[in-house]
Amino acid sequence: MQKSSQLLDPLFTTGRMHDIFSDRSRLQAMLDFEATLARAEASLGVIPSKAAGAIAAQCRAELFDAEALARATAAAGNLAIPLVKELTARVAQNDKEAAGFVHWGATSQDVIDTGLVLQLRAALDATEAEVGALADSLARLAETHKRTPLAGRTLLQQALPVTFGLKVAGWLSAIERHRARLREIRPRALALQFGGAAGTLAALENRGMDVAAALSKALNLALPELPWHTQRDRVAEVATTFGLLTGTLGKIGRDIALLMQTEVGEVFEPAGADRGGSTTMPHKRNPVGSVVAQAAAQRVPALVSTMLAAMVQEHERAAGGWHAEWETLPEICRLSAGALAHIREIVNGLEIDPARMRANLDASHGLIYAEAITMVLAKHIGRAPAYQVIEKACRRALDEKRPLREVVAQDPQVKPYLPATELDRLFDPSNYFGSAVQLVERVLAQRSKPR
């Protein structure tokens, strides 16, 4: 039973992440667990060596009828039950003795959770690679535009001059933190689940820990201190990490969409045939990739909250919480991947208009430099009096629709202290970047440090 949409998947996720969490991949990951379990047990003499080969030979997803398994799952309550039953029957067709050793000592949650972990490893690999590529692109953009003047905006209003490179460096800094998080969670998240019926491995008598160690080594997964059937912090951490990443991608998308507004027009998503158009308005150039990233950032938090709520589970096996994870976590990964792919494509082809950025800086007729003038004037008459003088000058400039420079140049409380040459300096945005350039360079330098 495939929940994805052939019509919408190309918009909201990537082919790679779709494949990782497809029905076939889910089945194969679970079958990989069963095959590896049999081999590990055979290597320790827990089951006959011949049985391992017979079991592994049938652990191929293409041999199973996914629709039949789906129907059986609805009655059984989880996918592992009909899958193990079908696997056992297939092995029995060739080796009845070997069939008796399928799933030896394991429980349904072992195969489902470890299968999920194998899928998550692929998802983390793909995401880390994409995040790294995005970080590289952002770094190049920040370096190129670290001195490009841009109006900084607070509460959607022009505030002070900044640089476009500083804005990009803010995106980059967050992406680098997510990159670190993705690496840091791997030892905790990529852990074997193997505990048997109640987490004691009792069915394996005194060989339980030996089998667990061999199984974790063969699957290249961490061997946890004990099974984590109802301790769900591992998968919840993956969910929150992807949720944080998606939030930043949504923030980048929001910034770009705002900068693309007709009245702003400072940057644009890459142009292309049939990209960002309208069914009725030929002139439209919509921020389509940015919109998808924002949509993901709105959808994912609720899914993350489901994962957090599902952590509260009963005793040694959950009655609903575990089941709530099965579709939720893959959907988080899929949406995050889609947002990441869109933002990476946008950044790689972002069209930037420095001339429009400078024109927008001038749109306030100098009001954006009010703080700069206030701070210099304050050295002569004190901060509070200087603030009052420039505040009145700003109101006068607005009321009389005159440039602020003209108004302050004629103000008797300003003129003695700020000659024309000083006003020329103060009304140049490059002289009021503060530490913007150094901050960009600091972010870029941090990337080059060993990790």
Q: Considering 317, 356, 358, 402, which one is annotated as catalytic?
A: 317
Task: Indicate if 173 belongs to the active site.
Answer: no
SS3 state at 154 = strand
What angle in degrees, to the nearest 10, is found between the helix axes of 80-94 and 108-144? 110
Q: Considering 5, 49, 278, 430, which one is annotated as catalytic?
A: 278
SS3 state at 163 = strand
Element at 290 (helix H, strand E): helix 288-309
Distance CA(151)–CA(356), nearest Å, equals 11
Pairing of strands 157-163, 267-268: unpaired
Neighbouring-strand partners of residue 163 = 149
Q: Which residue has the tokens 């003695």?
A: 416
CB 152 within 8 A of CB 436: no
Helices (H), 354-415: 354-361, 370-381, 383-400, 404-410
Give residue 197's Cα distance to chain centre: 35
Give Cβ neighbours of residue 405 (< 8 Å, ≥ 6 apart).
366, 369, 423, 427
Give residue 258's Cα distance to chain centre: 21
Element at 161 (helix H, strand E): strand 157-163
Task: Indicate if 24 belongs to the active site.
Answer: no
Q: Is the dihedral of CA 256, 257, 260, 261 positive or negative?
A: negative
Distance CA(82)–CA(101), nearest Å, equals 16
Q: Which residues are catalytic?
A: 278, 317
